[in-house]
Chains A and B, each alone.
Chain A
């Protein structure tokens, strides 16, 4: 009995903080004066520290966007770097307010873990990277290989399913972070490293000789990556969801960092832009935010396309194409936001 109590006592440390989820997160965030955002411990392009030690990247910009939406100031923001293994506990326990860490939206995470995904900011799929010297051109030739894998991720499960479905054996080499996986891959502990293809592109770009490595053509899973919040505070989820939506809408309506001030200066002839930028209606107030919150967001980070191009687009070292992550109006794009009205 005593043992039993001890276990519960240990668990309650986590659960004790979890009660914060009931309170209105936005009030807590405003009260403490900054947003606590969970990010990757290091993934070039998505969340990495620049030369000045500042966190930058695609996922980090979403944190900045939410901070700008709540405070009108993207600098009122603190980061918590999280591994694949501890990210959900950190979010559920209230250690972070938003998790923006290339996290795959799945049924069990959404339902069973009691989390709320607020949308998809990157449509991804799992792939493999191999040294070209291995002479492998397809994932179906990987039977018997040693595969480095980040533990606690969906990729771990997809990998098991893929090799099983194809009747191939492999040796899983479980690794905690992307850096460790990279060093084990380079040291030859494993033949293959597998993770989301965006992550692979980022990893490849950070290698000394990217051309010596090949991302295999197979995509073995759907990985819709998106930001998420705790379940149970719909209002806070709405704030995060519409922050993501306006980033996409802004690109659709041609609002960018350069012209947002000008467009917000007075009513334009496009009502959707007027509603977003606060020159028409009281949409900000409905969300408990400033009338010009969207202006603050776009001023801070730009629209979705600008964020993409800045960190992971074709012009960057990572060089990802928009592909499925283009607006629905482009060929092959599936990025689509509900209307702002």
Chain B
């Protein structure tokens, strides 16, 4: 039998547009060349223009004194500190509001998402109103709204409301007593760590015992008891080393205590409430994605409703929930750059605004801001992807 004769692979120029495969390659090459030349033109243009303007780009200014003050600093900072330090202060403030926001938004979102599925008509409708309202109002307006409410409706520090002794509400912020740790306070920390270690060990053991003997151990109550009791015992054993620093009105403002500024509050609360509404929808969708047959099967096996939720529905729902949840966490972090609207001194407000303005180094400052947001986002993304790979259904 004669072998099938294959035509020799000769290349003709006309193949470039008649042959589908080579046409595809050609188009991609052209697109790539165009893209690269566009980027090259932009870079060249920038370099050329900067040279023409006599602007010398460089990051040396970062070590000059920033000369401005920042009202919320997690590390030591004065107006003589460098721009670099101001950037770090802003970065930490961004992390703080993003971290607190993610936690509160997740809480709100999970609760609202589950409650929206509640058979209780009123609860379900209330959650629908919450979700639909906050989700459909721009977050910047919500930030300004909460800021306006705090600044315009709460009393002046001198007439501050004191709902609980030592807790003050004023339009300059919320003031709480701050714990001051004495010399032997480390004992309490050690006790807490020991309690946590015990809880982890107990949970692992309980799980092993359950799979071996089928007996169920009260993991939650035992762990909680250990985590509460041990540090309390240590507190008294160490001679009560924690004292409270009470806020007190002194001159114009409160001194002492812990202050939650209206700028932080407005930003944190608005971002959490806004993102929480999206998370609620994601959670609701995730739960609904688990077929009702699963719940019925669990009930038929005699599992209690909350066990059904924890052991059957949630593990399957998380698989659907986690990926869009990552986007929401990233959104919240990036939206925190709206801080400048209410004067919260985050990364954008410090290096991206004030330093930029005072030094005029727009390219340098913005490149730092860009790089840092990119870094934060990639880190959150990497962590959540790792978590996602852990909760993903393993298909066999």
Chain A interface residues toward B at CB < 8 A: 3, 5-12, 14-16, 18-19, 21-22, 84-85, 88-89, 92, 108-109, 112-114, 134, 142-146, 151-152, 156-157, 159-161, 163-164, 170-176, 184, 187-189, 191, 231-232
Contact = CB atoms under 8 A, between A and B. Distances in A.
Interface stretch (B4-12, B22-30, B48-56, B213-221): B48-56
Interface of B: 39, 42-43, 45-50, 52-55, 67-71, 78-80, 151-152, 156, 171-172, 250-253, 255, 262, 340-341, 343, 345, 349, 353-354, 357-360, 362-363, 366-367, 370-371, 374
A176 B340 contact: yes
A7 B69 contact: no
B294 to A, nearest CB: 44
A291 B360 CA distance: 39
Which of B42, B68, B252, B345 has most A Cβ within 10 Å? Answer: B252
B360 A108 contact: yes
Contacts of B349: 151, 174
Report which residue of A12, A113, A152, A157 has the largest number of chain B beta carbons within 10 angstroms of its beta carbon. A12
A92 B152 CA distance: 38
Contact of B172 (A10, A11, A189): A189
Contacts of B53: 15, 18, 21, 92, 114, 231-232
B386 to A, nearest CB: 22
Contacts of B151: 184, 187-189
B292 to A, nearest CB: 47
B366 A7 contact: yes
A15 B46 contact: yes
Nearest to B371: A3
Given A11-B362, A144-B251, A145-B253, A152 B357 contact: yes
11 contacts: A3-B371, A5-B43, A8-B43, A15-B45, A15-B50, A15-B53, A88-B360, A113-B360, A156-B358, A157-B79, A189-B172
Which secondary structure characterizes the binding site on chain B? helix
Nearest to A148: B343
Contact of B358 (A10, A152, A171): A152
B288 to A, nearest CB: 39
B69 A160 contact: yes
A191 to B, nearest CB: 5
Contacts of B362: 11, 14, 89
A269 B353 CA distance: 55
A159 B69 contact: yes
A143 B253 CA distance: 10
A235 to B, nearest CB: 17
Nearest to B44: A12
B21 to A, nearest CB: 28
B370 A172 contact: no
Contacts of B48: 19
B262 to A, nearest CB: 7
Given A143-B251, A151-B353, A171-B253, A9 B68 contact: no
A19 B49 contact: yes
Contacts of B45: 12, 15-16, 19
Given A15-B53, A171-B172, 17 more contacts: A7-B366, A7-B367, A11-B362, A14-B363, A15-B46, A16-B45, A19-B48, A108-B359, A144-B251, A152-B354, A152-B357, A156-B68, A157-B67, A157-B358, A171-B253, A191-B252, A231-B54
